[in-house]
Amino acid sequence: MKIRSFLPILFFATASLLFGQSPHAGTKPTTHSQQPGLRQGFGGQTEKHLKNIRQLTFGGDNAEAYWSPNSKWLTFQSNNAAWGLHCDQIFAMEVGTAAKNPSYKPLPISGGKGRTTCSFFMPDGKHIIFASTMSAADTCPPTPNLRQGGKYLWPVYDSYDLYIADLNGKNVKRLTDTPGYDAEAVLSPKGDKILFTSTRSGDLELWTMDLDGKNLKQITFDLGYDGGAFFSPDGSKIVFRASRPKTDTEINEYRELLSQGLVAPTNMEIYVCNADGSNMRQITNLGKANWAPYFHPSGKKIIFSSNHHSDRGYDFQLFMINEDGTGLEQITAESIFNSFPMFSPDGKKIAFSSNRDNGGTRDTNVFLADWVD
């Protein structure tokens, strides 16, 4: 759930869970070729770091688009009803083609069984790791009540396990087979470690393991939802978002929801630690929901999504902050949802999900932009 992946996400941490979205018809393609700094949004803010913004998907909820090692492909999840989907499935798109052809159909990866989330390219660029509930049932798992007591909730399906498939969606291999939630997997820059979130210890913690599933190691231990983690460019550090219930009421509520396979993503902050879990540091102290972090190519800054700036809980914009917690800067300023930012490995582009230019629907689409430091 990086949303997500939050998502997801992954659990699935997309905007559909935050806003109760449903699939809509696709909208017309949009390309913004403005010079950086000329696109203005809420509060007079400009998107000076984003140039040549292009829409890559059209219709439904599309999120957690993550790059291949060669910066030419993106893997993402979608529930686009026009593709016959009833819940989220994993796809891969060739970025150059998708940017030029709005009718381009991405490659299906997950096979259409169960619900999927949180995909990421393996080091060879020919295989993709993702989480799926397919081992429990071919059908989509039931969606729980995602709003209770005025709070939005994310499902943490205990039937999520990690799988690997090739770009043809074939040769599917199950990587985890442990009771509880296993999802939100990413690869280290060297390609030797998988980092993921799991409930195998009784709480939502970060774990690492080898590519074959061996040498499991728990790296976070504090009570709360640790997820949406990524390595720094040199692989020495990890950035993630976490909730940290403190009062007896918060702790009891967290544990009760988790026992039901749910979490409340309303209060999360950004953390950084060494790759082995040591030197844990809280980077943000902004309040509300700060999530979907990713390291800047320099390894010295972190981009993330947040609603801390707004009285409207659903207004999520991208922000950048130094690793020491200073220098907070707003990056996006348009629409009410911008999240899941990821820089391309070559540092030239950024992919993110947004509900900008959706024709008045609630669709969330994947966008591509040239990055301007």
Domains assigned to the chain: 15-371 (2.120.10.30)
Which tokens go with 97?
Answer: 């083609």
Tell me which residue of 356, 357, 352 sits closest to 369, measured CA to CA.
352
The pLDDT score that the predictor gives to residue 146 is 78
Q: Report the range of poorest mean pLDDT among 17-21, 42-46, 114-118.
A: 17-21
Which tens digits make up the pLDDT trace of 140-164?
A: 999 888 777 778 899 999 999 999 9
How far CA 35 is from CA of 100, 332, 338, in Å, comes to: 19, 15, 20
Which tens digits make up the pLDDT trace of 273-318?
A: 999 999 999 999 999 999 999 999 999 999 999 999 988 767 999 9
Residue 3, pLDDT above cutoff 70: no
Cβ partners under 8 Å of residue 74, min gap 6: 56, 65, 66, 67, 68, 92, 93, 95, 98, 351, 366
**Residue 141 DSSP class:** P
The rounded distance, in Å, linking the Cα atoms of 267 and 96 is 37
Higher pLDDT, 73 or 34: 73
C-beta of residue 345 within 8 angstroms of C-beta of residue 331: no
**DSSP E strand stretches across 224-364:** 226-231, 237-242, 262-263, 269-274, 281-282, 290-295, 301-306, 317-322, 329-330, 338-343, 349-354
The pLDDT score that the predictor gives to residue 7 is 33
The single-letter code of the amino acid at 220 is T
Residue 321, pLDDT above cutoff 80: yes
Which tokens go with 212?
Answer: 């074959």
Residue 363, pLDDT above cutoff 90: yes
The percent of residues in the chain predicted with pLDDT above 70, rounded, is 88
| pTM confidence score | 0.89
344 in helix, strand or coil?
coil
For the chain, the 3-state helix, strand and coil shares in percent, each to the nearest 5, are 10, 40, 55
Say how many C-beta atoms besides its own lie within 10 A of residue 124's C-beta: 10
What is the widest separation between alpha-carbon atoms in the chain? 54
